Amino acid sequence: MTAIGFHASHEQIHPRALLESVIHAEQVGFDAAMCSDHFAPWSERQGHSGFAWSWLGSALQATELPFGVVNAPGQRYHPAIVAQAIGTLAAMYPGRFWAALGSGEAANEHITGEVWPRKDVRNARLRECVEIIRALLAGAEVSHDGLVRVDRARLWSRPEQPPALVGAAVSVETARWCAEWADGLITVNAPTEHLRRMIDAYREAGGRGPVHLQVHLSWAPAQADAEAIAYDQWRSNVFAPPVCWDLDTPEHFDVVSAEVPMSRLAEVVNISADLGHHVGWLEEYIDLGFDQIALHHVGQEQRPFLDAFGDRVLPKLRSTPTPSR
Q: For the domain that residue 132 is a member of, what is the CATH number?
A: 3.20.20.30
Q: Give the integer Cα–Cα distance in Å for 219 and 229.
A: 8
194: Cβ–Cβ under 8 A, 6 or more apart, which residues? 172
Which residues, 6 or more positions from 245, have their beta carbon under 8 angstroms from its beta carbon? 103, 104, 105, 106, 119
User: Within a domain: residue 36?
Assistant: yes
- Say if 94 falls within a structural domain: yes
The answer to whether position 44 is within a domain reads yes
264 inside domain? no
Residue 247 belongs to a domain: no
Q: Is the pLDDT of residue 230 over 60?
A: yes
Residue 244 located in a structural domain: no
Helix H or strand E segment including 119: helix 119-137
pLDDT at 142 over 80: yes
Confidence of residue 83 (pLDDT cuts 50, 70, 90): very high
φ/ψ (deg, to 5) at 68: -130, 165
Identify the pLDDT of residue 88: 98
What is the rounded CA–CA span in Å between residue 24 and residue 139? 37
**Number of independent structural domains in the chain:** 1
In a domain, 266, yes or no: no
Does the structure show a pLDDT above 90 at 322? Answer: no
Record the pTM: 0.95
Task: Provide the domain limits for residue 126.
Answer: 3-219+274-319
Determine, yes or no, domain membership for 125: yes
